[in-house]
Amino acid sequence: MSIRIKRVGVLGAGVMGQGIAAHLANAGIPSYLFDIAPGELTPEEEAAGLTLGDRKVRNRIS
């Protein structure tokens, strides 16, 4: 029995997730890449003048 893959969702847009999604897309499989973005700043981030769009905030490990 063979299964045809129609589309794929990859959770996590880190180094590994990006590589997996790119490989699948290059193979002709529609790929959706999902990542979690923080919804609010920590007090330390606010004090430093950072915004939710700053790379330091988006790449925070919590």
- Given a cut of 90, whether residue 57 has pLDDT beyond it is no
Which residue has tokens 């997730």? Answer: 17
Model confidence, pTM: 0.63
Amino acid (one-letter) located at 42: T
- Given a cut of 70, whether residue 62 has pLDDT beyond it is no
Domain ranges of the chain: 8-58
Q: What are phi and psi of 32, to 5 degrees?
A: -115, 125
Model confidence pLDDT, tens digit, residues 16-34:
999 999 999 999 999 999 9
d(CA 22, CA 29): 10
Q: What are phi and psi of 10, to 5 degrees?
A: -115, 125
